[in-house]
Amino acid sequence: MTSDPTYLVAVLATIFVINFSLRALPFAILKPLRESEVVAVMAGWMPAGILTILAASTFLDSTGSDGTRLLQAGAATAVTILVHLLGGRRTLLSVGAGTLTYVLLVNL
């Protein structure tokens, strides 16, 4: 390793350019995609996909235990779906309600 100041400045400049580029890239890509129909369709389906993945993960974790865990996971999933549909499809609200339900059922 060398302590030459020119070398250190070159390394820091390279790190800066790469870091700045990787942080700016999503914003540069996003602008043309705002009008894309694919992005609009994905925005509609992604919340349901995320909830499906979370539910599948919960069920997979619960299948190795007794039947009460599976029932608790099912109840929490039902709460998540119900809150999502009745709460204006607000993902954070529905996932939070489902998670809270599961945690309460497991610990009570």
pLDDT digits (tens, 9 = 90+) for 33-43: 878 888 888 88
Q: How many helices (H) and strands (E) does the chain have?
A: 4, 0
| Lookup: tokens for 66 | 């007794």
Nearest to 54 by CA among 107, 88, 94: 94
pLDDT digits (tens, 9 = 90+) for 54-95: 878 877 776 666 677 888 888 998 999 999 999 888 889 999
Distance CA 50, CA 90 (A): 12
Which stretch of DSSP H or E encloses residue 59? helix 37-62
- Per the model's pLDDT, the better-predicted residue between 7 and 4 turns out to be 7
Nearest to 73 by CA among 40, 106, 38: 106
Distance CA 92, CA 84 (A): 9
